[in-house]
Structure 1
Amino acid sequence: MFDDTLEWRNIGPFRGGRVVAVAGDPINQNNFYFGACAGGVWKSTDGGNYWENISDDFFNTASVGAIAVSESDPNVIYVGTGESCIRVDVTHGDGVYKSVDGGRTWSNIGLQDTRHISRIRIHPTNPDLVYVAALGHAFGENKERGIFRSKDGGMNWEQVLFKSEKAGASDLYIDQNNPRIIYAGLWETRRTFWSMDSGGSDSGLYISTDGGDNWLDISNNPGLPKNIMGRIGVVSSPAKPDRVWALIEAEDGGVFRSDNRGESWIKLDDSEGVRSRPWYYTHIFAHPSDSNTIWVLSAQMWKSIDGGNSFQEVSTPHGDNHDLWIDPTNPNRMVQGNDGGACVSYNGGNTWSSIYNQPTGQFYSVETDSQFPYRVYGTQQDNSAISTPSQSIKGAILWEECYSVGLSESGKIAVKPDNSNIIYSAYPGGTLMRYDHTTGQVRNIMVWPEYYQNSAPKNYKYRFGWEFPIVTSKHDPNVLYTAGNMIFKSIDEGTNWEKLSEDLTRNDTDKQGLSGPITSEGPWAEIYCTVYALSESPINPDILWAGTDDGLIYISKDGGSSWSNVSPEGLEEWTMVSMIESSYFNEGTAFVAATKYKLDDYSPYVYKTNDYGQTWEKIIDGIAENDFARVVRQDPVNSKVLYLGTETGVYVSCDEGLKWDSLRLNLPVVPIYDLKVNEGDLIAATHGRSFWILDDLSPIQQINENTFSTDVHLMKPRDSVRLLMQSGSRFKDSIGKQYMSMQLGSPMVYEQKEDIEGGLSTKFLNCGVNPKDGVYINFYFNGNISDEVKLEFYDKSGQLIKSFDKGSKDKKNSLNLKKGMNRIIWDMRYPESLPIDSDVYGVTSPFGAQTTGPLALPGDYVVRLSIGDRNYQHDFKILVDPRVSVNDMDLTHQFDFQIRIRDKCTEVSKRINYIRSVKKQIKEWESKLDQSQDIEDLCKLSEYIKNKLDDIEDVMLPFRSEGPQPRGIPVGLFAKLKELMGVVASADWGPTSQSYHLYEDLCERIDTEFNLFDQLMDNQVGEFLAIIDKIGLAKIKI
């Protein structure tokens, strides 16, 4: 219904998210690829300066676990979806994708049920022979895991190594000198809501010497760990084929080396840095031409130049390092992936490209404030809490306009309702931070500030989950709520906390231990039996809702003094209640999003109650079968409209959940962790593509039972704020990128491409997208319209300002109508000045651009849609920018003065067009002149007139496409007048007295030239006309 009408825009921030898969083009030295953990595949063609997504519209899931580019044909690329670093927020994939044109197009080639893929390796000389290391389901057992091989480019697959339904593949390496020799690590692992288990009897290290037909378990070979193994990384040296390294998670694990292809091993290093958090890292890579150099990637990046006996740290732009691609012919050229993004090096890792050019942040929540423009807040995985503007007067949203609002990387965020400088955000382990933007100070206000890391949650005084809730009261800005396994309330910004409940969870101590069996996770990610969702009624402050991560829902009707279990009958235990939304319209109504995906159940669970939880209705009709939900929100304007965020996108319901429709539109496939409706916009916190905004929900909010029953429905426009955008300079480089800098600020880099309708679409490469500026007009057509159609804008006095017409030849004023919903945006400007025609040689002066029309004054306006003799209209307001202090009189003076300047520019344009018309006719007359006639005096007069016309035009617009240019091409009177418009319109302020004085001076000088022109026309041109009339030639049209 809303396709091609509503459009999401990415506001950034351009701060990279997690990356575990990278690759480079072995031929083109500037081409690199990375796969975001939940943001698709990206490509750089300029050495990592800028990146563009190349998987949108092709991939059905967002997570990328592996990328491989064929060395023998770099146009062939394989991508394995679903990462294998299965942290608390891991998202799944849907198999393998392949491109045969360098990433321009993709197709899914199978292995959909692998869910998580660790590595892809391609035969060095045969791009159709490819191997996949599949971890399999992260949250349950399945058969499609282990090592797979395709001999026909992915058309058919065979499972060549399988141990059990509990163990998948963690790594895979092909001997570059003898591709029939392949090494693989198998990993028994499983994650749940409450545990991360890594290691078991089915883990092991394997070798094949016949291209994967047969495999030998070498886990028990001499020198390797005696106890059970966990995750394994393996690599052999291209420079010394018998040399193999294995990085093994085990009680006595570490870095091991074999110099006889795995027959025997020696342990080289078991330092904490190299083997830290092994289920999350355990990545090892070999130098392509130096058999003594290897890299190990963990929290830091480590390099050994003595065969693995010792390691030195290599600095990277961000910690938590996962993948490394090294150019086999130029080892100094590499690309690396970490939890802050992807970065490129051309000097062996001494320096790296920026990670602040990738909008792939994984956000957990979203909040907004009451500023104008409103700012957007969220917590980014492996980074900090951040604030970014929803729009900018600089033309796009720059990184320099964003700022950190606390150290929080996970969990919720809240802004104090009456003071947007105060932001509350969550950090793992129950830490709650209060940030004050006026001072930059961050204060820890956690409920119980006891440090518990690496101890069992059952021993904690209070259990706070990875994303514990933070709620500011809608009724009292000083009231703050949070929740662990109990509910807490503060009335003094966290200085003191009051306990509102006892333990509301199932409190199963069997699910409150440490993970294992080899390594404990540690950073509070598996704290379970907690309150995960908390909501206060916007209608009644005594109504509180709470949902737990183990499948319970509670309500309090007395402000938290007592609680009642109102869990839906079909809500199974251990289900995570991820979000509760209290209704804006009925205090007994609430909506719930729940999930069991970490129990390997990807079904959506969404519920509604209208009676304080006494009865519940499951509302999932229209949601894809395995698209589990995390967040549901009610529209604050229309009680029947709901928004739903799922693992792959956004849905909307216009009937309170009876039926859902996709609202993904142009939003990429990406997990949606939170949604927020603010000032008529829908803001999405994506977990892999930063923040996105859907501007102006009016078409959705105003839908009712009558909307589609008539032929035409014009929706009431929302009030719009007039904004003055900064001016700036633009320039291009030699590889198609364009740059724009506003008032000497940081450059905005973008590309423009022609769309199917011949227009230009702009894609920003380093900054967020602004909303389209203007008044949004939305209307619905229920069929083909053959009548004349106009969309007109009037001021309060009834004066027509702007008109859009169906079939207009002027693209800027044309109505391109379609059946269904339509949107037209009026830029709030009055018509511009009359354009200046090209000169006699078809050339347009660079100084002859049209003068932009002035912005409409704040006030009341009317939009009218006319179809034949039928009229539909609504009034709306244009509002002054609330940040400026200007009175109505000054704005009126500014507007009136701009109209005078514009009209004078039009007057000048008409005269210049008139001059050029006369010169063009004289030139055409001269070409037809009969040289036998006595016309010497006529020719002299003709030349005199042309010279005088040139002189007048040079004063107005000093540019010629023929003959010598005026020295330095000085600025003419037209450009001076046009530039005065920019001076007057530069800010929301009354014109300066000197601007008026200059205007009068310019008008006097312009009128002097007009008078000279009039005299020329009355005298010499009149004489000229009389002569050609006398000799019988066609007259010039004057």
Structure 2
Amino acid sequence: KNASTSLYGNIVALDESPLQQGLLYVGTDDGLIQVTENDGANWRKISSIPGIPELAYVSHVEASEHDPNTVYATFSNHKMADFKPYVMRSTDRGATWTPITEGLPENSPCWVIKEDDEKQGLLFLGAEFGMYFSTNNGGKWTRLKGGLPTIAVRDISLQRRENDIVLGTFGRGIYILDDYSPLRNLTDDALNSEAHIFPVKDALMYIERTDRHIGAQGGSFFTSDNPPYGAVFTYYIKDSHKSLADLRRKAEKKARKDGGEIDYPDMEELRAEHDEDEPFLLFTVTSESGEVVRRLTAPVKKGVHRIAWDLRYPDLSPLASEKHLTRSGLHVLPGTYNVSLAKFDEGEWTQLAGPQGFTVKPLDNTTLPSTNRKAMVAFQKKAAQLQRSIEAASKTVDETAERLKKIGYTLRMTPEADSTLLATHTELTDRLTALRRELRGDDVASKHNANQKPSIANRVGLMMYQMTATTSDPTAEHQEAYNIASKAMIEFSEKLRALIEGELEPLERQLDEIDAPWTPGRLPDWRPR
């Protein structure tokens, strides 16, 4: 006796029509579907459905969300070593049935079927090796992957408020597809276009918490990743980019198949392949007034993809590497925005899709909400520009220090360098050190844990750190810190510019005059003598 096998005669599927009270469907483990239209007072037995093997397990019944006469059912005959998909639709409450299995693999038993509550004809199917969807009442099924492994999907729940699909799998946990609403707009026109941006769900603005406080729980603590924060753009690209090398290899493969000659590319063709720039997609987010607030990039790959904007302006810090292209600054204002899609290829922009409008809404659950959000964002943008200038000045100080360091080495080894040049170098180095301490603080005092006045960078850095993690108005202390730092930065910039342009660059020209070895910052100027 197999203890895990149910006894025949059990009801294993049940559903009630959401459109007509008293209309219920049940399915059993021995292939029967029973229908009642009066709350169970009378039942009508369906014992034979053309195309369905006798005693096949009724894995699910689903009353239509849109038509009281339509019902869907899935069957599994795996107990009889039959692994074919059995999915049926009836439009007369079970009197007659039509198979809807086009596009399903031949060896995939089906376990559950669900119908979207908004768009008629949009169906979801859980099968032994994955999940499928159909936009035409089951006329054609398409595999829905999105990171879902090859696994048995035994149950599906459609979360109506957020439009999420929740999947229950056999032994592999729960999977969630966030916001499946783009599937409601998956039309032939969209799929035949070069690119398409689907309607964008309203984006909630708040300060995202990133720490989970795992503590000492170790491996017993597990949470899945949260959905991407911000506005999520779902888009479709008809074709992937084919590089010159891809096209050449494709032509070579065809020639090899057809028995033709394969031409080896000449050096100009190889050079063109080597120098070819990779095209990319550019998403441009604009405000209602047309101001560009953010740009996002993505590779040109066919299919349906997603990219998220975190509702923030770009980071204004100096760009250290390509990774910093995705760094973000402060939050934008709530309101209406648009996103458009373009492609950059061979030095030209091509507009592909959009603009698609969407709304950014504040969550408004803060203890101290801003009384004037527009003024708050305006101050934050002004402060971010000040921080941009400070960080640029800090980088300039470091690069200038490196130039002076190399100049010092060069002067020591150049026979024509006199004591005047060495003295000038020492004076500039000392003045630059004083400027660095004015901008970033006294490193010697910090090393000895001594008190010191806040530096320009310290004032603004602390202010920006505090404003990045709040949606409250800037405090009076923030306003004062900005005013002090802004005034000090004006004076500092003038002194730094005078040192570099007025004294360092003339010193570098003198190095050229005495044929000193090259140092960073000097442009070689060759003239035969």
Report the TM-score when normalising by structure 2: 0.75
- Contact 2:312/2:329 (8 A) holds in 1: yes
- Contact 1:721/1:879 (8 A) holds in 2: yes
Task: Decide which structure has greater strand share.
Answer: 1
Query: In structure 1, which of residues 185, 193, 199 is the aligned counterpart of residue 6 of structure 2?
Result: 193
- The answer to whether 1:951 aligns with 2:434 is yes
> In the TM superposition, what is the alpha-carbon distance from 1:590 to its structure 2 partner?
1.8
* 2:239 matched residue in structure 1: 783
Pair 942,86 (structure 1): closer, same or farther in 2 beyond 3 Å: farther
> In the TM superposition, what is the alpha-carbon distance from 1:992 to its structure 2 partner?
5.3
- The answer to whether 1:552 aligns with 2:32 is yes
Q: Distance in 1 between matches of 2:424 and 2:317?
A: 31
Pair 542,854 (structure 1): closer, same or farther in 2 beyond 3 Å: farther
Q: Distance in 1 between matches of 2:72 and 2:325?
A: 55
* 1:799 matched residue in structure 2: 291
Per-residue CA deviation, residues 147-205 of structure 1 (Å, 9 max, x unaligned), is: xxxxxxxxxxxxxxxxxxxxxxxxxxxxxxxxxxxxxxxxxxxxx421xxxxxxxxxxx
- The answer to whether 1:717 aligns with 2:200 is yes
Q: Which amino acid aligns with 1:746?
A: G
- Contact 2:194/2:352 (8 A) holds in 1: no
Q: Distance in 2 between matches of 1:593 and 1:862?
A: 42
Query: In structure 2, which of residues 114, 117, 142 is the aligned counterpart of residue 636 of structure 1?
Result: 117
Pair 850,864 (structure 1): closer, same or farther in 2 beyond 3 Å: closer
> In the TM superposition, what is the alpha-carbon distance from 1:797 to its structure 2 partner?
1.4
Q: Distance in 2 between matches of 1:792 and 1:1016?
A: 36
Q: Distance in 2 between matches of 1:1027 and 1:856?
A: 46
* 1:916 matched residue in structure 2: 398
- The answer to whether 1:682 aligns with 2:165 is yes
- The answer to whether 1:863 aligns with 2:339 is yes
- Contact 1:640/1:653 (8 A) holds in 2: yes
> In the TM superposition, what is the alpha-carbon distance from 1:798 to its structure 2 partner?
1.0
* 1:597 matched residue in structure 2: 78
Q: Distance in 2 between matches of 1:892 and 1:905?
A: 20
* 1:407-446 matches, cutoff 5 A: none
Q: Which amino acid aligns with 2:6?
A: F
User: Identity of paired residues, percent?
Assistant: 22
* 2:315 matched residue in structure 1: 832
Q: Distance in 2 between matches of 1:537 and 1:931?
A: 93
Q: Distance in 2 between matches of 1:608 and 1:615?
A: 8
Q: Which amino acid aligns with 2:203?
A: S
- Contact 1:609/1:616 (8 A) holds in 2: yes
Q: Which has the higher mean CA deviation after the structures are superposed, 1012-1021 or 790-799?
A: 1012-1021
Q: Which amino acid aligns with 2:329?
A: G
Per-residue CA deviation, residues 481-537 of structure 1 (Å, 9 max, x unaligned), is: xxxxxxxxxxxxxxxxxxxxxxxxxxxxxxxxxxxxxxxxxxxxxxx5343322233
* 2:91 matched residue in structure 1: 610
> In the TM superposition, what is the alpha-carbon distance from 1:972 to its structure 2 partner?
5.6
- Contact 2:128/2:152 (8 A) holds in 1: yes
> In the TM superposition, what is the alpha-carbon distance from 1:1024 to its structure 2 partner?
6.0
Task: Decide which structure has greater helix share.
Answer: 2
Q: Which amino acid aligns with 2:30?
A: D
Pair 667,852 (structure 1): closer, same or farther in 2 beyond 3 Å: closer
- The answer to whether 1:661 aligns with 2:474 is no
Q: Distance in 1 between matches of 2:433 and 2:94?
A: 84
- Contact 1:568/1:615 (8 A) holds in 2: no
SS at match of 2:314: coil
> In the TM superposition, what is the alpha-carbon distance from 1:832 to its structure 2 partner?
0.7
Per-residue CA deviation, residues 729-752 of structure 1 (Å, 9 max, x unaligned), is: xxxxxxxxxxxxx4x4437979xx
SS at match of 2:472: coil
SS at match of 2:18: coil
> In the TM superposition, what is the alpha-carbon distance from 1:934 to its structure 2 partner?
6.9
Q: Distance in 2 between matches of 1:578 and 1:628?
A: 10
- Contact 1:672/1:685 (8 A) holds in 2: yes
SS at match of 1:854: strand
> In the TM superposition, what is the alpha-carbon distance from 1:966 to its structure 2 partner?
4.1
> In the TM superposition, what is the alpha-carbon distance from 1:1010 to its structure 2 partner?
4.6
- Contact 2:86/2:99 (8 A) holds in 1: yes
Q: CA RMSD in A?
A: 4.0
> In the TM superposition, what is the alpha-carbon distance from 1:608 to its structure 2 partner?
0.9
Query: In structure 2, which of residues 5, 16, 30 is the aligned counterpart of residue 536 of structure 1?
Result: 16
Q: Which amino acid aligns with 1:860?
A: T
SS at match of 1:579: strand
Q: Which amino acid aligns with 2:393?
A: R
Q: Which amino acid aligns with 1:666?
A: G
Pair 531,883 (structure 1): closer, same or farther in 2 beyond 3 Å: farther
Q: Distance in 2 between matches of 1:554 and 1:888?
A: 59
Q: Distance in 1 between matches of 2:174 and 2:203?
A: 22
Pair 1024,983 (structure 1): closer, same or farther in 2 beyond 3 Å: closer
SS at match of 1:769: coil
In structure 2, the gaps of 5 or more residues are 243-278, 344-348, 523-529
- Contact 1:555/1:563 (8 A) holds in 2: yes
* 1:991-1006 matches, cutoff 5 A: 991=473, 993=475, 996-1001=476-481, 1003-1005=483-485
Q: Distance in 2 between matches of 1:610 and 1:1011?
A: 81
Q: Distance in 2 between matches of 1:672 and 1:939?
A: 77
Per-residue CA deviation, residues 640-682 of structure 1 (Å, 9 max, x unaligned), is: 3221112332222233222323324532343322111222222
SS at match of 2:68: coil
SS at match of 1:717: coil
> In the TM superposition, what is the alpha-carbon distance from 1:906 to its structure 2 partner?
0.3
Per-residue CA deviation, residues 331-386 of structure 1 (Å, 9 max, x unaligned), is: xxxxxxxxxxxxxxxxxxxxxxxxxxxxxxxxxxxxxxxxxxxxxxxxxxxxxxxx
Pair 978,616 (structure 1): closer, same or farther in 2 beyond 3 Å: farther
> In the TM superposition, what is the alpha-carbon distance from 1:864 to its structure 2 partner?
0.6
- Contact 1:680/1:695 (8 A) holds in 2: yes
Pair 1021,882 (structure 1): closer, same or farther in 2 beyond 3 Å: closer
- The answer to whether 1:770 aligns with 2:252 is no
Report the TM-score when normalising by structure 1: 0.40
In structure 1, the gaps of 5 or more residues are 1-84, 89-191, 195-527, 729-741, 751-763, 805-813, 839-847
* 1:577 matched residue in structure 2: 58
Q: Which amino acid aligns with 2:27?
A: G
Q: Which amino acid aligns with 2:228?
A: K
Pair 936,660 (structure 1): closer, same or farther in 2 beyond 3 Å: same
* 1:35 matched residue in structure 2: none
- Contact 1:552/1:567 (8 A) holds in 2: yes
Pair 782,606 (structure 1): closer, same or farther in 2 beyond 3 Å: same
- Contact 2:113/2:126 (8 A) holds in 1: yes
* 1:48-197 matches, cutoff 5 A: 87-88=3-4, 192-194=5-7
Pair 921,934 (structure 1): closer, same or farther in 2 beyond 3 Å: closer
Per-residue CA deviation, residues 426-473 of structure 1 (Å, 9 max, x unaligned), is: xxxxxxxxxxxxxxxxxxxxxxxxxxxxxxxxxxxxxxxxxxxxxxxx
Per-residue CA deviation, residues 832-871 of structure 1 (Å, 9 max, x unaligned), is: 1222769xxxxxxxxx999841233332110111344545
Q: Which amino acid aligns with 1:863?
A: V
- Contact 1:602/1:627 (8 A) holds in 2: yes
Q: Distance in 2 between matches of 1:536 and 1:631?
A: 15
Q: Distance in 2 between matches of 1:715 and 1:881?
A: 24
- Contact 1:958/1:966 (8 A) holds in 2: no
> In the TM superposition, what is the alpha-carbon distance from 1:606 to its structure 2 partner?
1.5
Q: Distance in 2 between matches of 1:783 and 1:851?
A: 29
- Contact 1:682/1:697 (8 A) holds in 2: yes
SS at match of 1:830: strand
SS at match of 1:706: helix
